[in-house]
Amino acid sequence: MRQAGCALLIFIAAAEPNSESMVQIMKFQLPDLPFAMDALEPHMSAETLKLHHGKHHKAYVDKLNKAIEGTPYAKMPLEEIIRGSFKKDPGVFNNAGQHWNHSFFWQCLKTDGGAPRGELGRRISKDFGDLAGFRKEFSKAAEGLFGSGWTWLVLDGDKLKITTTPNGETPMLNKQHALLTLDVWEHAYYVDYRNERPKFITAFLDSLINWDFVAQRLQEESQEVESGGKRRAG
């Protein structure tokens, strides 16, 4: 099976052999959502998810497969494609980045997803003062992002930071480790919130974060940092 470098994102690249080649070339596939289509209502509607996952994310996957066909990228894991095509092949990069970002985003979502506890709670207090400090900084970044892009909680060295990326860019390009993201492209919220991005951001912070996933990422990415990047290839 063709895999992305991140263990949590193995599902990003499910296997589909290309019978026309002696070399087994895999195509990327749209991952299933890790929840029912209506599981996030009323904060994120089934209509939004049908469009966002079934149309927008699917289009990125389809365009990525078309863009890499017959190129050296066709044999690379997703994260290697992202790093290799950045500022070189925008048609490949934009769709590869958006495939990674959306696959990660779906895992960040859950209704009644708890609260940051344990090590994650301690690190949020250490780097943002408290949970309110985290929320304030995250909201400010998400509201202030001009145009289309993503807001992230990342592990940067031994610090938690809030950052944003434009369009399909990802924190890995800055050697940062993604822990949580919010898609603030208009297609993520227009059906449910029209042009009111702040309401979408508040709903996300109040009701849609899968904190267990964030805690798991912090644990795994901290180990990755401590190992100097040796635990994971790609």
| Exposed/middle/buried for residue 75 (C-beta within 10 Å: 0-12, 13-18, 19+) | middle
Of 185, 125, 117, which Cα lies nearest the Cα of 151?
Answer: 185
For residues 189 and 213, which CB has a smaller minimum distance to Fe ion in the complex? 189
Query: Minimal distance in Å, beta carbon 52 to Fe ion?
Result: 6
Binding site for Fe ion (CB under 5 A): 183, 185, 188
Paired residues of 178 in beta bridges: 154
For residues 183 and 192, which CB has a smaller minimum distance to Fe ion in the complex? 183
For residues 100 and 185, which CB has a smaller minimum distance to Fe ion in the complex? 185
Query: Minimal distance in Å, beta carbon 57 to Fe ion?
Result: 7
Query: Minimal distance in Å, beta carbon 184 to Fe ion?
Result: 9
- Identity of residue 91: G
- Return the exposure string of 204-220: e unless at least 16 CB atoms fall within 10 Å of the residue's CB, then b: bbebbbbbebbbebbeb
Residue by residue, DSSP assigns 27-60 as PP-PPPPSS-TTTTTTTS-HHHHHHIIIIIIHHH
For residues 25 and 153, which CB has a smaller minimum distance to Fe ion in the complex? 153
For residues 109 and 188, which CB has a smaller minimum distance to Fe ion in the complex? 188
Q: Which residue is nearest to Fe ion (CB)?
A: 183
Query: Minimal distance in Å, beta carbon 215 to Fe ion?
Result: 24
Query: Minimal distance in Å, beta carbon 51 to Fe ion?
Result: 10
